[in-house]
Structure 1
Amino acid sequence: MKDNARIAILHHTGGGNLGDDAIIDVVIGNIRRRQPGADIVVFSMNPDDTTRRHGVTAFPLRRHCWSIGYKSAKNPEIASGGPYRVGEMRNLLLRIPRSLLLELRFLAKSYRRLKTCEMLVVSGGGQLTERGGPWSFPYALFTWTLLAKIAGVRCLFLNVGAGPLNHSLSRFFAKRALLAADYVSFRDRQSQSLAVSVGFRRESHVYPDNVFSLTVEAPADEDQRPSRIVGIAPMPFPFSDLLTPPDDPQSIQAEFIEKLADFSSQVAALSYRLQLFGSDVGADPKEIEHLRTILSSRHAISLPACEPVSSVDELLSRIGAMDYVVTCRFHGVVFSLLLNKPVLAISHHPKVAELMRTLGLSRYCVDMQNFDSETLFEKFLSLVSESDNVRQRMSASLTGFRSQLATQFDDLFPPLAQAAVRRLVASAGTEAVAVGQERQ
């Protein structure tokens, strides 16, 4: 690879999930530490937000973009209006050909951009998912890996997560995307096994989630705090991950928040301070406010309005001021581990339970769909009593994860001096072979 190679990162980010933004930060940082001259661009769902947060050139990943909150946003590069009137666009015979034409134009522009790169890195844990249906994530990855293949651009799947992939078309797209890649690694064994089940049987690797290599500042001395703080992070119930959506999702979400409020009131009764927070600035604030309202109206616990964080650094700073963390999100667990905060996980997806199992903390994990507040409180009491052992286990896990990730990034993006040595050795080997052939 050239010292000033252009490397593209592809990630479905831009809706407000700070775990996704942390992944972008980590991948960019790891590449630049090893190859300072690399020109990095990002294909994302919200290019303006990606450029603002990460200081890189960003382009649309799909024809339809996002705004914060995962709301559909207009792609400024796609022309609207034209010779078609609104009434005509309601006609299916006109709408389908026009959509197809716009998609082909978008793919052609994306190909021209990708052609200028030497590598396409598909990063992010939840890329191999069918959230939004087969024509969302699965189709997008299929088209981008196909474009990379045609353009002769090396394609890497870097520590991605997989699932759910329930639809046959989603599984087809995922399989073809993986088969078109030059290197594939997953962030857990479950994702690797799912890939095998859809037909991907080539060599692949398992490495920890990329965010485990994020550099963080040590939190303030906990012994200086007047009282212990328990951070609680609710989230919307992930109905999009279910094969069959429920008939009454609102009541399920309300029941979840009520159980979390019951648990929180028990924690507060032990003189712990409660602090509500979220790691998705687009999706979590509504549920945080819902929980705060229930705590006030039903449990007489008054908490100040939660100021949403806007960056990974702000989120880490807030978690750093906590003593214990109760979270639903995968990267909520990861951030807690980075800061060595004993964590209690409410698993909304198998990936969360698998992460807690890998950490040896399965006893501190409950399922979001069927937990009860009493069980959650009992697990919290156990977490508190075993907090020293939990911290030691978390610290050891983090050390191992960081070592694995450092090795992987060194192999995939060798530092310039190391790359030069490799080229020298390869060149010397070639010359030796040539001399041997001449002598024969």
Structure 2
Amino acid sequence: MTDGGGGPRIGVLGSYGGRNLGDEAILTGLLADLRQLRPDARIVVFSRYPDHTRRTHPTVEAVPWEGVSRADSGTVLDRLDLLILGGGGILYDREARRYLRVVLAAQERGLPVVTWAVGVGPLNEALDCAMVRETLAEAVQVTVRDEESRQVLEEAGVRTPITVTGDPAFLLEPEPFDAALLREEGVPAGRRLVGMSVREPGRAAERLDVDGYHRLLAQVGDFLVHRLDAYVLFVPMERDDIRHSHGVLSHMTAAERGRILHGDYSPQQVFGLMPHFDIAVGMRLHFLIFAALSGIPFLPLPYAGKVFDLAQRLGVPALKGVAREVEGPLLAEVDRLWDERDARAEAVTPRVRTVCEQAQGTARAMQPLLRGLRMRTPVGIAR
């Protein structure tokens, strides 16, 4: 390992490795908290793409966990003093079991496990619910990032005390996104600019009908172009979002006013892009978080409970139009967003401060454990 000295060895297990900018934002915030609490810690990140994690976080060790044998995972777990599960939305049907197999292997070795502002749901599959109950019953500390996640865990039968904190991405600091980069992306100077975020259907968004929501969001894009005389910049938060951005553009009558961000940017740079927008309309949770942190008026297009929870926390209207293909109410809400943009931005600001304070609560909850963490004797090694 390259960081820390002789301090405790902490593993971090989540959906990391560069495929999703939101997950990378979570990891960045989580690592900052860990280094503040235990600067001597040696950190091991279980990553889907270890090479990417090593490049972006050179002070940690990155190891694979997908497609890795139980014995090889055990070799890494035997070196750890604590395993952190999370953050981010990883405990949902058919995905939770994959992460929790690693957690079970850790607990079999007597390794303490905590969850770090984890996101939960939808969670209905019997196997996933059973594994969640079994592993979290033995967890030292359970923190979730929103009230929705706590409710899902309670409905799954988890009896361990659950602390609601906030997404680690609320702790991120932006990096500058120069206007010249926008020119390189084909966005002309001196024009109003709307940020838009779309996502792919999948296990986390199973209710989305691809062609239906592409057509619906194309109408939103056209409305914004004509209503504001604006350009629309689609911001992919993971690679497959590019394809779906093209799908929306293909249905827009004003497609010449649409652009898709193609550069390879860090979460901090995408955060720094937000002040260039006049308003933002989006599906991806962390796109919306970055807009909120930047004081940009935004409209969530919810597809899952985590987006509704964000809207509730920040007092922002959120319609179910994306899943239900309801055009009229959605366009009316977009129109209202523009008319009330200044008042909405002002109203959201104090709520954002509150949520940022809640996000700091994860580190506060973990502080006694982390400050008192000592190196344990690895399995199979006598004292």
Bin of the TM-score, shorter chain as denominator length: 0.7 to 0.9
Aligned residues: percent identity?
Answer: 25
Distance 1:215 1:415 in 2: 26
| Corresponding residue number in structure 2 for 1:388 | 342
Could you say what secondary structure the match of 1:318 adopts? helix
Distance 1:319 1:380 in 2: 18
One-letter code aligned to 1:406: Q
Change (3 A) 1:39 1:272: farther
Change (3 A) 1:282 1:163: same
- Cα root mean square deviation, aligned: 2.8
> What is the CA distance between 1:364 and its match in structure 2?
4.0
| Corresponding residue number in structure 1 for 2:52 | 49
| Corresponding residue number in structure 2 for 1:311 | 266
Alignment check: 8 A CA contact 1:119 1:155 kept:
yes
Q: Which runs of 5+ in 1 are unaligned?
A: 64-77, 79-105, 424-440
> What is the CA distance between 1:411 and its match in structure 2?
4.1
> What is the CA distance between 1:202 and its match in structure 2?
1.8
Give per-residue Cα distances to partners, 1:98-120, cap 9 Å, x unaligned. Answer: xxxxxxxx112212211211111
| Corresponding residue number in structure 1 for 2:90 | 127
| Corresponding residue number in structure 1 for 2:28 | 25
Distance 2:36 2:96 in 1: 31
| Corresponding residue number in structure 2 for 1:205 | 163
| Corresponding residue number in structure 2 for 1:108 | 71
> What is the CA distance between 1:414 and its match in structure 2?
6.1
Could you say what secondary structure the match of 1:126 adopts? strand
One-letter code aligned to 1:117: L
One-letter code aligned to 1:57: E
Distance 1:309 1:176 in 2: 40
Alignment check: 8 A CA contact 2:321 2:329 kept:
no
Distance 2:242 2:41 in 1: 37
Could you say what secondary structure the match of 1:347 adopts? coil
| Corresponding residue number in structure 2 for 1:327 | 282
Change (3 A) 1:272 1:217: farther
One-letter code aligned to 1:36: P
Could you say what secondary structure the match of 2:88 adopts? coil
Alignment check: 8 A CA contact 1:157 1:184 kept:
yes
> What is the CA distance between 1:351 and its match in structure 2?
1.4
Q: Normalising by structure 2, what TM-score?
A: 0.85
Q: Which runs of 5+ in 2 are unaligned?
A: 180-188, 375-383
Could you say what secondary structure the match of 1:231 adopts? strand
Matching of residue 172 in structure 1 with residue 133 in structure 2: no
Alignment check: 8 A CA contact 1:141 1:177 kept:
no
Distance 2:363 2:255 in 1: 51
Matching of residue 408 in structure 1 with residue 372 in structure 2: no
> What is the CA distance between 1:34 and its match in structure 2?
2.8
| Corresponding residue number in structure 2 for 1:286 | 243
| Corresponding residue number in structure 2 for 1:183 | 141
The counterpart of 2:172, out of the listed 214, 217, 238, is 214
Report 1:32-181 matches (<5 A). Answer: 32-55=35-58, 56-63=60-67, 106-130=69-93, 133=94, 137-181=95-139
Taking CA–CA contacts closer than 8 Å with sequence separation of 6 or more, which of the two structures ends up with the larger relative contact order?
Answer: 2
Matching of residue 9 in structure 1 with residue 2 in structure 2: no
> What is the CA distance between 1:125 and its match in structure 2?
2.2
Distance 1:350 1:240 in 2: 10
One-letter code aligned to 1:263: V
Alignment check: 8 A CA contact 2:146 2:166 kept:
yes
| Corresponding residue number in structure 2 for 1:271 | 228
> What is the CA distance between 1:128 and its match in structure 2?
0.9
> What is the CA distance between 1:241 and its match in structure 2?
4.4
Greater radius of gyration (CA): 1
Matching of residue 238 in structure 1 with residue 242 in structure 2: no
Change (3 A) 1:328 1:167: same
Q: Normalising by structure 1, what TM-score?
A: 0.75
Distance 1:282 1:180 in 2: 36
Distance 2:89 2:260 in 1: 31
Could you say what secondary structure the match of 1:369 adopts? helix
One-letter code aligned to 2:35: R
| Corresponding residue number in structure 2 for 1:103 | none
Distance 1:195 1:315 in 2: 32
| Corresponding residue number in structure 2 for 1:257 | 214
Distance 1:300 1:129 in 2: 36
Distance 1:230 1:302 in 2: 10
Distance 2:265 2:178 in 1: 21
Alignment check: 8 A CA contact 2:145 2:167 kept:
yes
The counterpart of 1:342, out of the listed 297, 315, 323, is 297
Alignment check: 8 A CA contact 2:193 2:279 kept:
yes
